[in-house]
Structure 1
Amino acid sequence: MHEVMELLEEETKDFGAVIEFFEPPAIPGFGSSGGFSLRLLDKTNEVDYHEFEKINNEFMDALRKRKELTGLFTFFAANYPQYELKIDNKIAMQKGVSIGKAMENLNILIGSTYEQGFTRFGRFFKVYTQAAPEYRRYPSDLENLFVKNDKGEMVPYSSFMKIIKRQGPNELTRYNMYNSAAIRGLPAEGYTTGDAIAAIQAVAREVLPKGFDIAWEGLSYDEARRGNEALYIFLVVVVFVYLVLAAQYESFIIPFAVLLSLPVGIFGSFLMLKWMGLANDIYAQIGLIMLVGLLGKNAVLIVEFAIQRNQQGAPILQAAIEGAKVRFRPILMTSFAFIAGLIPLVVSTGPGAIGNRTIGSSALGGMLLGTVFGVLIIPGLYYVFAKLADGRKLIRDEELSPLSEDFVESASRESLLKRLQKVTILKRKNSRKKE
């Protein structure tokens, strides 16, 4: 899409007109174009259209200075050539002309009105009434038109009406009953629509005079209202992972050895996005959430083995070293197999390529950096937090071994004793038979 827009902009740059191109909306039905869309509102209802245009242009100039924004365009302009019909009511009344009938007659002469229809030759024909083209070709022709007064006399419009040439808005748009100017644009390369919305809000606070405000529309309306929900979703994911690990390890300290290994991978994800020139959008955020599980899995492999060795009597340092050695090859094998599977997404082309590149680059960069540094950092993190948790109990006389494992061990011990008893009995019977 960006390549097509750049090609069209290059082809139309010498047309002598301002031609803007916009992407289709990300969600069909939410607005008429991609990027962001907003309205500049005049809440004073006291400013004329020319002053409103000046304020709108100043606002647009301030927006163009922000590096987060590009492709800015406004549909409001108050410099379109227009003709104002100025009617002298007193003279019209003296001549017996009704202003309402005069405007209705002028509308028919310049435009048209449907009178009736008839059927001929097996077809239906509509009849419209209007002045002949030669009598409504130029604005000055209006002064040569006539209207009937209340006595049935023909009165020229020029006797009570003047034509004044002026400039005005091409269209009048309202938003929540306020005069408004529509503004469209796109986030610059490397920035998201969230960054663009924050930049516009900052400029509006600095530049707009009292009584003027902005309002969002289309997809930007929902995005501005919801704010940065991705951050809260990511925090919920991290808290959920922490609670699961705390239940698994029966410790509130050991899970930090897994969680604190994640920032390295997250940094790698953002570094890869920056290097590829991609935005931190919903695709990148999906990749980050996926990284929490994938990198957390690598950390769990090392920490779980180290905890088991520590419970079997090995010192914490030795358990951490053994966990790193034993789990080194499985972690590299699974991680690099996943990274190889992401390469087609990173180099994808065609429709939807930006989304594929974003989610692929986010996951690949985070997985690569998180794996390379994770196998070095995770054992050290386990050693630190295992030392902090060593000898500490939340409950007096707390059992360190999990209840499920104790149950399994006791059940297996009982079954082993029963088997030994059976073997002993069989041996005694065999010995008696021999005797």
Structure 2
Amino acid sequence: MFSKFFINRPIFATVISILIIIAGVISIKLLPIKEYPAVVPPQINVQAVYPGADGKTLSKTVATTLEESINGVENMSYMTSTASPSGLLTLSVFFQIGTNVNQAKVDVNNRVQLAMSKLPTEVQRQGISVKERSPDMLKVIAFTSKDQKHDTLFISNYLKVNVMDDLKRIKGVGEALIFGEKDYSIRVWIDPQKLSFYHLASTDIMDAIRSQNNQYAAGRIGAEPMEEVLPYTYNVITKGRFKTTKEFKNIIIRSNQDGSSLRLKDVASVELNSDAYNSHAQYNRDPMMPVAIFLSPGANALDVSQAVDDTLKELSKKFPQDLEYAFPYDATIFVKASIEEVIVTLFEAIGFVIILIYLFLGNLRATLIPVLAIPVSIIGTFAGLYAAGFSINLLTLFGLILAIGLVVDDAIIVIENVERILRTKNHPSVKEATIEAMKELTTPIVAIVLVLSAVFIPAALNGGFSGVMYKQFAMTIVIAVIISGIVALTLTPALCAIFLKQHEPEPIWPIRKFNQFFDWLTTVFIGITRAAIKGWFFALILFAGLIYATYAIMEKTSSGLVPAEDKGVLMVLTYMMPATSLAE
């Protein structure tokens, strides 16, 4: 018999349970922590820039070409594109749930490269980025300048040079973005009247800037082949790209035959400023630069959030004195509070289960056995979650709460059967009674595990968003039940042979009174059952009425994927007419 091996070797049974607990504890440290399972399909973002183009031009010349090339990529579900008046095209490609994100990124990038030759030259020169976009925004960091000593252009460039690289290197950060990023650039404001006076076009200005603001290879002095042998070879290094506004102002647009020249400053004003003015952000009425932190797939939200805080705290020691930061949005606040509440509920459920077990079993020795089985099953479940690639989230924790009442059932059945045999049959020892009890219970315990698994496994096989959501909930219960069955066949009978006695002492007074009340309640229930059997027709009518009432109430009850919860965040979106200015 399977259980007899462990009854005779209680230390071996204990070691197995300890190994299960150790595996569970290690898995708790490794499992990612989230609010809900990842249900958003994998997303790949393609960004292209066409300087000076409007949204319609972007759609016709860039978006259409890229969409035709990317359409039909393996496992693609759908894609959306947004063309902004600033010349930025964002194309989002969504894939089926479960698709390998890295492979999807490679497939999309290959399609983009095939379409590259069909795009305008300006778009090719700017380059096209293909990035994986995680749907999990962890937090938004607002960087402001105290008393507005520095403008947002300075803040944006300071963040880009001194902060963003450190944030991106944090383990678990999928992407760090500066919303409305502003880079220093030379802005040339052309005077159309002066262009007309000098018979020039804007393309002449662009060609002159492009040709003179460049890095040219000027060659080498003394390079082979040479008739004479020279001891050294010298590289000729030109000045290269311009660095100041004065150098840009002196770009020669046209040289005249009399030796005079027309320079850029004669037809345009040149200044050092931001490359874009398409966004404006404020935090407590102060101008700010927002930085968004996105999680990488499978990352632990709480650990990554803490790492971001620690990194910013360390970097802030080198910040300019006026540079400050705050967190207007932090998803981990609600996640942390939710997880803590569920954990409290988990311990409360364990406490109630222990009290109920003691009330019904009536002695501390018998109560201790299922109490020891609870942590083995619950903590061991985390090892199963890690092996299945799940995460610690609200649904898996809810599954554990529900599983608490299920994992003790097998242990209680074993204890009750051993005590029954001790009361009704004469056995030389508790060990022999336990062996006989397990002969009777091995098959029923396996059947219980299989039946409970058969109840919850179909919920894990549903497709769509609801299937992904409740797969982890259902499989958490199945894993816990399977481990509880293993414990009931190994550890529980070994503990019964050790802790139980042939003659248990009389229960204490509260337990005796509870048993008297329960016996009276059992008598009342038997009487009601007899009456229901005699009046079976009315019982069937009552049963049918209950089914109808249940169906009617269910039809009127509102439904949803998850319950609405107050996360303490209010977002207001205002949609304006096309071509509305930023100031408006």
Q: So what's the TM-score if we normalise by structure 2?
A: 0.47
Rounded to whole Å, the distance in 1 between the matches of 2:303 and 2:379 is: 19
- The residue identity in structure 2 corresponding to 1:62 is D
Q: Please, which of 108, 124, 129 is the counterpart of residue 18 of structure 1?
A: 129
User: Would the alpha carbon gap of residues 236 and 9 (structure 1) be closer, same or farther in structure 2, given more than 3 Å must change?
Assistant: farther
Instruction: Tell me: CA distance 1:164–1:53, structure 2 relative to 1, closer, same or farther (3 Å).
Output: closer
Query: Which residue does the alignment assign to 1:172?
Result: 280
2:398 to 279, 282, 286: 286
Whichever of the two has the greater Rg, that structure is: 1
Which amino acid is 1:260 matched to?
L
Q: Is contact 2:138-2:332 (8 Å) kept?
A: yes
Paired letter, 1:377 = L
TM-aligned CA distance change 1:225 to 1:407, over 3 Å: closer
TM superposition shift of 1:174: 2.1
Q: 1:320 to 1:272 in 2, by over 3 A?
A: same
The 2-side partners of 1:245 and 1:217 are apart by 45
Ranges in structure 1 where 5+ consecutive residues have no aligned partner: 24-32, 86-136, 141-157, 412-435
> Post-superposition shift, 1:312?
5.5
- Give the match for residue 70 of structure 1: 174
Task: From 480, 494, 497, give the equivalent of 1:366.
Answer: 480
Name the counterpart of 1:182.
291
Cα gap change, 1:205/1:406 in structure 2, threshold over 3 Å: closer, same or farther? same
Distance 1:226 1:361, change over 3 A: closer
Offset from partner CA, 1:375-425 (integer Å, 9 cap, x none): 2111233445546x96597669x85993246769999xxxxxxxxxxxxxx
Residues 23-73 of structure 1: CA distance to partner in whole angstroms, max 9, x if unpaired? 6xxxxxxxxx54423224337454554345434664443333333332443
1:257 CA displacement: 1.5
Match of 2:452 among 320, 326, 338: 338
Note if contact 1:266-1:288 (Cα within 8 Å) is conserved in structure 2.
yes
CA 1:399–1:294 in structure 2 vs 1: closer, same or farther (change >3 Å)? closer
Deviations 1:287-329, CA, capped at 9 Å, x for gaps: 2223212212222222233344455586544454444333322
**Which one of 198, 218, 233 corresponds to residue 345 of structure 2?**
233
Give 1:183 shift. Answer: 0.4
CA RMSD of aligned residues (A): 4.4
TM-aligned CA deviation for residue 333 of structure 1: 0.6
Give, in whole Å, the separation in 2 of the partners of 1:82 and 1:295.
Answer: 69
Q: Taking structure 1 as the reference length, what is the TM-score of the superposition? A: 0.61
Residue equivalent to 2:489: 375
Q: 2:158 aligns with which of 47, 54, 61?
A: 54
203 and 384 in structure 1: CA distance in 2 versus 1, 3 angstrom threshold: farther
Q: 1:240 is matched by which residue type in structure 2? A: F
Distance across 2 between alignment mates of 1:41 and 1:233: 38
Name the CA distance, whole Å, in 2 between partners of 1:69 and 1:384: 51
Aligned length: 334
- Residue equivalent to 1:203: 311
Percent identity for Structure 1 against Structure 2: 14
Q: CA deviation at 1:198?
A: 3.8
Task: Tell me how far apart the structure 1 counterparts of residues 161 and 460 of structure 2 sit (CA, whole Å).
Answer: 41
> What SS class does the counterpart of residue 217 from structure 1 fall into?
strand
Amino acid at match of 2:129: V
Alpha-carbon distance between aligned partners in 2 of 1:232 and 1:330, rounded to the nearest angstrom? 33
Unpaired stretches in structure 2, ≥5 consecutive residues: 1-40, 43-74, 76-93, 96-100, 117-126, 190-201, 206-264, 525-584
Aligned to 1:172, what secondary structure does the other structure show? coil
Give how far 1:22 is off. Answer: 4.5
1:56, 1:221 → 2: CA distance?
A: 27
CA contact (8 A) 1:68 1:199 kept: no
Q: Does 1:215 align with 2:215?
A: no
Higher relative contact order (CA 8 A, sep 6+): 2
